[in-house]
Amino acid sequence: MKLGPLKLNAIHAADLLLQEVQWLAACHPTFPADVRAAADAARIGYPSLEAVRRQLWTPQQDEALAWLAALSRARSVLDQVLGPQVDLRTDPDLRGLARWVNQDFATQEQLAGARVVHEPGRGWTLELGE
């Protein structure tokens, strides 16, 4: 499944969510350290806004592979934020953002079945599993 506009918007919004998790963890000592560490890891290789604007097309296969790994890590953080582990009373807006991102962000199943594909003349991109 190709990445449509809703998935691309969710990818960008998930980056904002990861940044918010990092900020909250720095400001609130009770915020789970493992969730912050997961957010830190997810931001490594995460698609930039410019990459999202290019609809995740890149001339480099390694970059597309890094995006896929980062999106999988971001999905894990999203699941943790939506789960009972994170006390969202520290920032109630985080749950709202997480719910909004979750509506269109790729599921674990889609990411598990995702692959990096090449289109001659265009480059590399991601294709989600069904």
Q: Do 86 and 35 touch, CB atoms closer than 8 A?
A: yes
- For residue 37, what are the contacts with CB-CB under 8 A and spacing of at least 6? none
- Under DSSP, the state recorded for 62 is H
Residue 111 is predicted with a pLDDT of 93
Place of tokens 């000592």: 29
Residue 89 is predicted with a pLDDT of 59
Q: What is the tally of structural domains in the chain?
A: 1
- For residue 102, what are the contacts with CB-CB under 8 A and spacing of at least 6? 78, 82
Q: Do 124 and 61 touch, CB atoms closer than 8 A?
A: yes
Which phi and psi angles does 55 have, rounded to 5°?
A: 60, 35
The pTM for the full model equals 0.90
Beta-bridged to residue 125, according to DSSP, are: 117
> Token pair of 89, please?
């009373």
Report the 10 Å Cβ neighbour count for 104.
16
Lowest mean pLDDT among 38-47, 62-71, 75-84: 75-84
pLDDT in tens, 9-48: 999 999 999 999 999 888 888 888 898 999 999 999 999 9
Among 62, 24, 58, 57, which Cα is nearest to 40's? 24
Enclosing domain of residue 96: 5-127
- Under DSSP, the state recorded for 56 is T
pLDDT in tens, 82-125: 887 676 656 778 888 998 999 999 999 999 999 999 999 999 99
